[in-house]
Copies of this chain bind each other. A is one copy, B any other.
């Protein structure tokens, strides 16, 4: 049994280290050797737990999505109003993306279609549902315009998040990805707020750290 716990623990350490390296350097440029070296273990030990790098990538992405899900569920429990939820959601994203090399998305899409697919399924099954609920609640509480099309705009919102991450659309040498994300969330909100909603908005952005900076 002790052996089993140790194995578990090694597996977790591998995932944790891979996550750290992937987020810092992207996925393609990190090899099994790099992960082994950083952990001070042999490559053979890694292969005892994972058949290949793909298996590590998938587990890293699964865990990251699980963490994001937890964070969003926590926000739901806090029963914030829809405007605050949208701003805090963007704020959370800003923090979580701050430590991620944007090449991770590029590498996932290009070299790890299965893991990319996990991300896409999560987007469809979970995030769009969250955004949809936010929009519906906002309309019901008269914070958002009643003539918005909830289905169209919830897809638009999630696609905007992905768009800001795409270096082919917003090249990294010209745009700061997080500033693009922040510009989008504020533009998106302006696009749906009623006068009543706008008052809440002004209050929350003063309280929130989500300030738009127009650097770069």
Interface residues of A, Cβ cutoff 8 Å to B: 145, 147-149, 151-153, 155-156, 159-160, 163, 169-170, 174-175, 179-180, 183-184, 187-192, 212, 214
Q: Which residues of B contact A170 (CB under 8 A)?
A: 152, 155
Q: Which residues of B contact A155 (CB under 8 A)?
A: 169-170
Q: Which residues of B contact A152 (CB under 8 A)?
A: 170, 175, 179-180, 183-184
| Distance of A190 Cα from B193 Cα, bound (Å) | 9
Query: What 4 pairs across the A-B complex have the smallest Cβ distances?
Result: A191-B191, A187-B191, A190-B191, A152-B183
- Residue pair A163, B169 in contact (C-beta under 8 Å): no
| Distance of A156 Cα from B170 Cα, bound (Å) | 9
| Distance of A216 Cα from B148 Cα, bound (Å) | 13
Q: Which residues of B contact A148 (CB under 8 A)?
A: 183, 187
| Distance of A145 Cα from B187 Cα, bound (Å) | 10
Q: Which residues of B contact A212 (CB under 8 A)?
A: 147, 149
16 more contacts with CB within 8 A, not counting A149-B183, A153-B183, are A145-B190, A148-B183, A148-B187, A149-B179, A149-B212, A151-B174, A152-B170, A152-B180, A152-B183, A155-B170, A156-B163, A156-B184, A156-B187, A159-B169, A187-B192, A190-B192
The closest CB in chain B to the CB of A181 belongs to: B152
The closest CB in chain B to the CB of A188 belongs to: B191
| Distance of A148 Cα from B151 Cα, bound (Å) | 26
Q: Which residues of B contact A214 (CB under 8 A)?
A: 147, 149
The closest CB in chain B to the CB of A189 belongs to: B191
Q: Which residues of B contact A175 (CB under 8 A)?
A: 151-152
